[in-house]
Amino acid sequence: MEPGNEPLIKFDKVVKKFGDNVVLDGLDLDVNAGERVTLIGPSGSGKTTILRLLMTLEHVNGGTIWVGGKPFSHMYRGDQLVPANEKYLREHRKTIGMVFQQFNLFPNMTVRKNVTEGPVHSLGVPKEEASERAVELLEMVGLADKIDAHPTQLSGGQQQRVAIARALAMRPEILLLDEVTSALDPELVAGVLDVLREIARGTDITMLCVTHEMGFARDVSDRVFMFDAGRIAESGPPEQIFGDPREDRTKSFLKAVLEHE
């Protein structure tokens, strides 16, 4: 393979089980550097699991995940691939950031600390520098005035925007977004989506979004993956998936989602 053409993220026959429940059964998935992909599909089809595997919150039961041309779920011992140990994971997951459905801000820290603790403690960024960067990021998400507030004093939408700033503070190459607007009141959704559009426009971060916001998916994604039962039912550019889906499963899924809206 040509070095330049190698996908940034590569799932190679990835198997993930929870007990007897085989969630991913030999999944192959490639994402290129700088690409914005959206994962859609019915509940339980494995979308969250894919993001959690990339964030190393879950571990594969078979197959291998590659990031940047290097093994990610595994590491080399000699020329054997063995499951990655914690040290290896720490070295390699620092290129990846994640925003959660429920925000998961640290309630024992102010907004500023939430955004600076990662860079200071995991990347060794000096406190002042991290703090300056926090101010910039909070300005970008429109919350510079909340820098000394506690998460409990913020609305869900504000908390989620802080969570996005927190993830960006780690300067990730890959950003994982798992239904980041699903827990929000409807009137707060637009503010968060605007921030994400801004990131899509102003950076070259590779983004993997799980979302039910089809309008947003259409606007920002380069490719949409339709999942069903842990497999890719169909994938393609958003115009094709939303405008001219080939698979019946995609059609019925989109119909259900759009009716719901």
Partner 1 sequence: MDFVINSLPLYWEGALLTIRLTVFGAALAFVLAVVVGTLGTMRNKAARAVAMVYTEVFRGVAALVLLFWFGNSLQEITGFRLETEFAAILALGLNVGAYGAEVVRSSINAVPRAQTEASIALNMTWWRRTRLVVFPQAWAQMLPTFGNLVIELMKATAIVSLIGLTDLTKVADDFRASAVADTFTVYSVALVGYFLFAQVLIVLVRLLERRANRKLGRPTDDSLLGLLRPPSIGTTTGGAR
Ligand X SMILES: Nc1ncnc2c1ncn2[C@@H]1O[C@H](COP(=O)(O)OP(=O)(O)OP(=O)(O)O)[C@@H](O)[C@H]1O
What is the binding site for Mg ion (CB under 5 A)? 48
Nearer to partner 1, 21 or 152 (CB): 152
Note whether 260 binds ligand X by CB under 6 A.
Answer: no
21 binds ligand X (CB under 6 A): yes
Q: Compute the distance between CA of residue 36 and CA of residue 13 in angstroms, rounded to an integer.
A: 22
Choose which of 26, 62, 68, 118 interacts with partner 1 (CB under 8 A).
Answer: 118
Task: List Cβ neighbours of 75 (8 Å cut-off, separation of 6 or more).
Answer: 81, 82, 83, 84, 85, 88
Burial (0-12, 13-18, 19+ Cβ within 10 Å), 161 = buried
**Spatial separation of the C-alpha atoms in residues 182 and 178, rounded to whole Å:** 9
Phi, psi of 248 (to 5 degrees): -60, -40
152 binds ligand X (CB under 6 A): no
CB of 137 to partner 1, least distance (A): 14
Map residue 172 onto helix, strand or coil.
coil
Tokens of 219: 């606007």
Of residues 39 through 98, those in contact with ligand X by CB under 6 A are 41, 43-49
Residue 156 makes contact with ligand X by CB under 6 A: no
Q: Work out whether 17 is an interface residue with ligand X (CB under 6 A).
A: no
Q: Where on the chain is the footprint of ligand X (CB under 6 A)? A: 18, 21, 23, 41, 43-49
Could you list the residues that contact partner 1 (CB under 8 A)? Answer: 55-57, 90, 93-94, 96-98, 100, 102, 104-109, 117-118, 121-123, 150-153, 166-167, 170
